[in-house]
Chains A and B, each alone.
Chain A
Amino acid sequence: MSNIILKNITKSFGTAKAVDNLNLEIPDGSFTTLLGPSGCGKTTTLRMIAGLETPTGGEIWIGDTCVYSAEKGIFIPPKQRNLGLVFQSYALWPHLTVFDNIAFGLTIKKLSKQEIAARVQEIATAIRISELLARYPSELSGGQQQRVAIARVLIMKPEVLLLDEPLSNLDSKLRMDMRAELKRLHQETKATIVYVTHDQLEALTMSSDVAVMHLGKLQQWAPPMQIYRRPANLFTADFMGNPKMNSLKGTIAKVDNGIVVQAEGFSIPVATGSAAAKRVGEAVTIGLRAEDLMVHLQAKPKTVSAIVYSVLPAGSEWYVKVNLGSVQLTLTVYQEMEMDADDTVWIELNTNRVKCFDSEGMRLDLM
């Protein structure tokens, strides 16, 4: 068993709190991603799990072992935690060959030369770097260095694999390939993976669970699609998804045929039985993903007119920026349309997908 439990973990640097009262329970064998902008405390959290940083308060459990407790004065050093960490920079030792880099941990364990050679060979074959063993890290490409860094960690058979932005130094094509490989690796090793990234697409495509962090605090912790569909707050909604979610200021209003949210000419009916009835008159923010907006070249019922600001073709889809009153919206369009800057178009909403947030930025389940 190697689930990871963080209880009330806090880490302060001076007066600044890098991680603020974080509670997380990473299940055994899961692929959990810590997602957030730089400075949100995700890497610090990872390093605390690894034992490279000591928290200021709280408890960390790996499996049945408490590896850190401020209260009880427990600190299990990193090497006894049976985990592997792949660094963002890969941290390959430049003065050692690939073989020696991979073999390092086993030589510390004082295994016999034959056994080390056999195990290095085995892992190198599995990860397809066996022809690189005699080289030095500086003679490898970024992708190859990445593989060596992973091999160096996997050879120790860790129960927990920590990955700190491992793809950020690769070009976008290679990144695509490596995503698939890392996902595959997870299925093969069955290790618990904790993955740190600021790239929401990586989080979406690879993880079984995503923990979104901001300013040291956990924002939401759920499977990726749930975060995308049902973001807990405005920050999460904003951070997940590309292009960025559109947001409009609106109010809850009572009209003839029930309660609606009114914003920039749109009138969005709320679901029956929702809490909206008690909140009539309250200001809210509504979130609209680019793909939940449809554009028409002619006026239609339930549409609102807007002026095209610019059109950005991106191959399989087009991004269209339109000015609607005082706000600018970004839309995704999936087929070619006759449209140019300054044209008038009509915007329709997919009302089922509209997200609504209260004045504090927390999600309201209205639709």
Chain B
Amino acid sequence: MASQEILREEPSRGSFINDPRIRSLFFQTLVVILLFSSIWWIIHNVIENLQRLHIASGFGFLRSRAGFDISDTPIAYTSDSTYFRALVVGLLNTIIVAVAGIVLATIVGFAIGIGRLSQNWLIRKICTVYVEIFRNIPPLLVIFFWYSGVLAVLPPPRESIHLPFGSFLNQRGFYLPRAVWGDGSWLIGVALLLAIAMAWFVAHRARQRQRATGQQFPVFWTSVALIVGLPVLAYLASGMPLTFDFPKQSTFNLTGGFWVKPEFLSLLLALSFYTAAFIAEIVRAGIRGVSKGQSEAAGALGLRSGPILRLVVIPQAMRIVIPPLTSQYLNLTKNSSLAIAIGYPDLTATAGTVLNQTGQAVEGVFIMMIAYLVLSLVTSFVMNIVNARMALVER
């Protein structure tokens, strides 16, 4: 009986065309062949057409003299530098604005997200309005809002607004005094590193002690005292080597000091305020996602609302928050390419100029794509490590 039933369940061997496994194998192979041949065809077509149109190709142009200047140069760059260096400058500018934007967006986003859950009606409503406005306006318009609506209407350089600590604000940007480190200032840096190491050690010991004895230690204030106090002591001990270079009025503009250009400022503010609206929603969802029983249980144990949020709710909320946060970071990095609209020399703008000066369109676009891909993959990689550390550890 049993053997007969097994026989009946065997697929009929009428024709191998009707065999689902063979069919599936056949179509998968077919798709792979088509995919690779179309990739091959695209590359072949590009090369052939470039030759037909008498357009020089290859990456040799990267070693030629660039000939154009860039306004923001984090590394030494002049018009005598190579195209390659110009692209590196662009990439660094993208990284600078992306990292600064991610930090600012995270801070603002968390504040707004927590604010949306506040007991205070006014704070809650302000945060809701913020999210609804910035989430629903295209980022390009937010950039234009900051650039043309806020920064461009500031007074011209000769009528700069004086701000405290010798800083100035005008339509050409934001000017801060620049620290000039004199001889012996290395001591301050060493003191700072030492203080950070000590603070870490104190925190580690305090945790051990709390676990063993239940006694708490004011880690936060000790760390602040160490990190601020030690460098100050070192500063006094080394004979106060720090001076400031204040911005001064010259023929055209303010010179000296540290100059933040309006292009960077508006891009940074726009990207971070835009992304912060999304982060706020993610944070709110994360906090809401922690079951109410958790905070009630913590309350029953006698914890106050601050520690409940910090020690119970947020660590659990982070597990929900981090994966979507990663996509927001990636979005921010990619949205930074909108810089081209206001003339911030990011990778897209610089590569665009290189592309146009050399006419190497295919190579230029290829370099841009690879650079953004690598940036995004690195961001994901870092966030995946953070995610893995935050993940629930079964004890």
Q: Please indicate whether A and B come from the same complex rather than being unrelated chains.
A: no
Interface, chain B (partner A; CB < 8 A): none
